[in-house]
C-alpha cells in the first residue's frame, strides 16, 4: 500500500547552545525560491507549536538546559510522528536543534511498539550524553541517550538537580526504544570521553568520513544496512554538520573534515532505498551562523528536494 509523505516542521531550538536553529525551515523555504519555487506549495508542512519563548527566561537546570521545555516538545513530536505513521503517512521531519530526534524516535516506537527499530545517524557528533555527563548542558547532545535509556553513570561528571532528573526520566520512557546494537554512525568525528566509552561498551560502528571515501559510499551504505538486518523498521537522522564547514558554517557546532554536499546526498539516497525506512529527519540548519548568506539552507534544500522526491516515488511505487 502506498504512503503519502508528510513534512513535520519542528522549529524548536531549546536544546542548542547558539540561537537561530528555529529558523532552519524558513531558511530552507527561502532557498527553495531559487531552486524550486513551488516545492513547499506542493508539499506543505504541519508545523508544531513550540515553547521557544522559554529562551527569554533563565534556566536553573545547568546540566540539561531548559529540559522542561524540551520534554514538552518531546511529547508533541512523539504524538505528531506517531499520528502521522498511524495514518499511513511517511513523516519527513525538518527540525531545529537535534534534541528533536529523541521525540521522533519516541513517536516511531509509539506507533510501532512491537517492531525492532534501527537508527542510522549521519552527524559529526554522537549525541550520547546525558545530564550526568554533558560538558555543556545542551540537550541537542543527548537525544540518542534517551533512545537507548542510558544515563552513563560510569562516566558521571555532574550532579543534576532533582527537577532535571525527573524530566530526563520522563523523556527516556519506561524502557529502551532502541537497542545500542541497532545504531550505526556515519561521519561522527567529534566526541567526548563519556560518549567514547559508550561507543566502546556497545561496540557501535562509526563509519568515518575517511572510511566512507576509502571504501566508497555504496559499500558503506550496504554494510550499514546489513548490520541492521535484524531490524524491522529504520529511521535516518541527518545533521547538516555532518558536512564540512567549507559547505557553510551555518550550523550550531561545525566540525572540520566532514562530507561534501554531493557525498551527503549520495549517502542519504543510497540508504533510503531500503524499504524498511519509515521516517527521515534533517536538523541543525542555522542561518544566523552562516558566513555565506543562506548557503547552508541552500545546500540543505539541494539535498532535501531529491531525497524527498526519491522517497515520494518509492512510496507510490
Q: Which residues are catalytic?
A: 98, 123, 125, 127, 140, 239, 241, 284
For 164, how many CA atoms within 13 A lie in the half-sphere containing its CB?
21
Name the 3-class secondary structure at 283: strand
Name the 3-class secondary structure at 251: coil
Instruction: Please name the residue that has the C-alpha cell 550520547.
Output: 128
State the CB neighbour count (10 A cutoff) for residue 114: 6
Name the 3-class secondary structure at 26: helix
User: Can you tell me the distance from the alpha carbon of 137 to that of 223, in angstroms, rounded to the nearest whole number?
Assistant: 34
CA dist 177 to 25, 87, 114, Å? 27, 21, 10
In contact, 239 and 140? CB cutoff 8 Å:
no
Which of 197, 98, 173, 200 lies closest to 141 in space, CA to CA? 98
Q: Phi and psi (nearest 5°) for 118?
A: -105, 150
Which of 130, 94, 77, 74 lies closest to 284 in space, CA to CA? 94
Torsion of CA 191, 11, 276, 222, to 10 degrees: -40
User: Can you tell me the distance from the alpha carbon of 142 to that of 126, in angstroms, rounded to the nearest whole number?
Assistant: 9
Q: Phi and psi (nearest 5°) for 218?
A: -60, -45
Beta bridge partners of 118: 234
- Distant-in-sequence, close-in-space partners of 99: CB < 8 Å, separation ≥ 6: 12, 14, 15, 16, 70, 73, 74, 139, 140, 142, 143
Amino acid at each position: 500500500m502506498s504512503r503519502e509523505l508528510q513534512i513535520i516542521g519542528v522549529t524548536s531550538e531549546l536544546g542548542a547552545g547558539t540561537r537561530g536553529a528555529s529558523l532552519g525551515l524558513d531558511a530552507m523555504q527561502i532557498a527553495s525560491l531559487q531552486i524550486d519555487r513551488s516545492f513547499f506549495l506542493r508539499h506543505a508542512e504541519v508545523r508544531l507549536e513550540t515553547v521557544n519563548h522559554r529562551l527569554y527566561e533563565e534556566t536553573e537546570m545547568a546540566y540539561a538546559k531548559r529540559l522542561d521545555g524540551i520534554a514538552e516538545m518531546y511529547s508533541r513530536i512523539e504524538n505528531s510522528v506517531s499520528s502521522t505513521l498511524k495514518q499511513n503517512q511517511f513523516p519527513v521531519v525538518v527540525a531545529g536543534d537535534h534534541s528533536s530526534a529523541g521525540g521522533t524516535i519516541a513517536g516511531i516506537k509509539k506507533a510501532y511498539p512491537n517492531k525492532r527499530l534501527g537508527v542510522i545517524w549521519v552527524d559529526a557528533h554522537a549525541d550520547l550524553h546525558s545530564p550526568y555527563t554533558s560538558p555543556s548542558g545542551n540537550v541537542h547532545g543527548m537525544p540518542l541517550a534517551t533512545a537507548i535509556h542510558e544515563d552513563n553513570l560510569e562516566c558521571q561528571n555532574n550532579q543534576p538537580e532533582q527537577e532535571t532528573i525527573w524530566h530526563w526520566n520522563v523523556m527516556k520512557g519506561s524502557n529502551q526504544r532502541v537497542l545500542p546494537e541497532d545504531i550505526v554512525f556515519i561521519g561522527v568525528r567529534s566526541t567526548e570521553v563519556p560518549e567514547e566509552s559508550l561507543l566502546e561498551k556497545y561496540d557501535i560502528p562509526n563509519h568515518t568520513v575517511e572510511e566512507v571515501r576509502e571504501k566508497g559510499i555504496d559499500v558503506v551504505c550496504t554494510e550499514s544496512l546489513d548490520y541492521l538486518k535484524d531490524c524491522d523498521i529504520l529511521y535516518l537522522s541527518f545533521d547538516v554538520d555532518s558536512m564540512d564547514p567549507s559547505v557553510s558554517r551555518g550550523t550550531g557546532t561545525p566540525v572540520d573534515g566532514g562530507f561534501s554536499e554531493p557525498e551527503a546526498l549520495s549517502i542519504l539516497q543510497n540508504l533510503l532505498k531500503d524499504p524498511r525506512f519509515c521516517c527521515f529527519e534533517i536538523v541543525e540548519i542555522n542561518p544566523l551562523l552562516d558566513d555565506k548568506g543562506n548557503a547552508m539552507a541552500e545546500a540543505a534544500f539541494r539535498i532535501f528536494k531529491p531525497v524527498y522526491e526519491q522517497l515520494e516515488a518509492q512510496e507510490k511505487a
